[in-house]
Amino acid sequence: MDLPTIQSNLEGVTERAVATVFTGTATFVTHGQVILNATSGSFTPNTRVTASIVELDSNGLPQIGAARLTIHNVQPYQGGVRVWANIEWGSNLRVRVSYFWET
């Protein structure tokens, strides 16, 4: 597959001392384009957070199945984080979103 490469330079690169990076997961059963909401007092609107998504098998273990799973946007807010996800499948799947953040 030939995809175009889009180049950019990092701007405002600063060194930042981080004492702790936090991780957490949330499990959802859904499909299609959805907003997945996870609540935690750890989040504020200024929290820097990333998220990834994986399908879970019947034993709750991560798997690469036939469905394509994507995260499009991540929005931290006071008391939680929302992600716009697309689970490209015609029926509900069990998925796990993993969050990594620093405050």
**Following DSSP, what letter does each residue of 19-34 receive, concatenated?**
S--EEEEEEEEE-EEE
Domains assigned to the chain:
22-102 (2.60.40)
- Look at residue 103 in the predicted model and tell me its pLDDT: 74
> Which band of pLDDT confidence, cut at 50, 70 and 90, is reported for residue 1?
low
**Contact by Cβ (8 Å): 61, 55:** no
Task: Give the percent of the chain with pLDDT over 90.
Answer: 78
- Look at residue 71 in the predicted model and tell me its pLDDT: 97
